[in-house]
Amino acid sequence: MDEPDPQTAAFEAEGLLDGLDAAEREARLDLLRQLAEAGVSIEAMKRAVAEDRLAMVPIELVFTRECKYTLPQAMEQSGLSEGFVRRDLLALGLPYPADDELLYTDEDLESFKAVRQVLDTGLPEERMLELARIAGRSAAQSAEAILLTFVRQFLHAGDTERDVGLRLANLAQALMPSLGPLLETPTRLHMRQVVRREVIGRTERMEGVLPGSREVGVSFADLVSFTSLSESRSVEAIGEVTERLELRASEAAEPPVRLIKLIGDAAMLVSSDVPALVHATATLVREVGDDDVLPAMRAGIAAGPALNRGGDWYGSSVNLASRVTGAADPGAVVATRKVVDVAGSGHEWTSLPPRQLKGIGRAVEIFQLAGLH
């Protein structure tokens, strides 16, 4: 029997080829050789094997190939303080790296410098960190969604680590030039919509600030009996339910209505245009009712002053909308008196008995939207 070459012998000595059948061994050996040629150390390979992520190392190389700066170098060249950067990374949902880790590219360094320039204009650090929290949540969701979408599409039964690793690396390499427009264009278009939607009145112009709160309509729509449903279905089936709920809610929330967030089995919609919010909420409840995968939905709408902070909304009208939702029957949309008054003649309502709702100090007049069934 031929003696293995020195490189193969080194891989064997480190246990990198243990427990593999002939085909898996050949594929892993080929992958290990390519990784070694790319400069990946034996220790890094061992960690990847131990963590069962060897197939992901090639795609990691795609995203780290141009990295040439450590965090201390990036801070020094940008002028950002360590204290701010620690808080910024925490707000972005990112770990604080080791001082000697080459983690940043020339483009990343420009981003550090851009943050410094924004702070130099007088924007308080706390406001910058609020933006970082929003950007971090959005970026994390986008990154996971993009990766999982392509993994699901290009992962085939019977793939070896080498097959998966090299295929994903090639895909990432081809995808990289498109990532900027893919993520930046929706952000730019959303900002344009916000600019068109917002109004800065005379008071705000004279005083130089926007008011702390504004009049908006808020609706919550939740799936009926979701708890019992989750106990009787598989994780995959529940995942399909939540994905379809997000799709239906996103489709219903056309500007000027915005989908603010999904909270488990519920969607929160907000708009300064109450009639449009009523229409979007009714559409969502109706579309979910016609979806064979989703259980029935109910919704509640309230209107009044609310405060926007970090992309979310707070205030008594938000709490009232949440409470009112619990008074709705499956397939129904209910609302407060103020919503009915503001919604205008385009909607018909049926008066329901006033309800004493949890956390609300008075009985609340409730109306049910007609024509949903």
**Could you tell me which residue, 285 or 346, shows the higher pLDDT?**
285
Domain boundary among 137, 171, 197: 197
Tell me, yes or no, whether 87 and 189 share the same domain: yes
pLDDT of residue 235: 62
Residue 210 has pLDDT above 80, yes or no: no
Tell me, yes or no, whether 218 and 353 share the same domain: yes
Q: Kindly report the average pLDDT of the chain as a whole number.
A: 85
Tell me, yes or no, whether 268 and 140 share the same domain: no
pLDDT of residue 185: 66
Q: Which helix (H) or strand (E) holds 334?
A: strand 333-336
User: Is the residue at 220 inside a domain?
Assistant: yes
Q: Rounded distance, CA 313 to CA 54, Å?
A: 43
pLDDT of residue 298: 96
For the segment 271-306, what is each residue's pLDDT rounded down to a tens digit? 999 999 999 999 999 999 998 888 899 999 999 988
Domain range for residue 306?
214-369
Which tokens hold the place of 79?
């002028």
Tell me, yes or no, whether 235 and 353 share the same domain: yes
User: Is the residue at 255 inside a domain?
Assistant: yes
User: Is the residue at 57 inside a domain?
Assistant: no
Residue 182 CB contacts under 8 Å (≥ 6 apart), including other chains: 146
User: Is the residue at 60 inside a domain?
Assistant: no
Residue 243 has pLDDT above 60, yes or no: yes
Q: What confidence tier does 267 reach under pLDDT thresholds 50, 70, 90?
A: very high
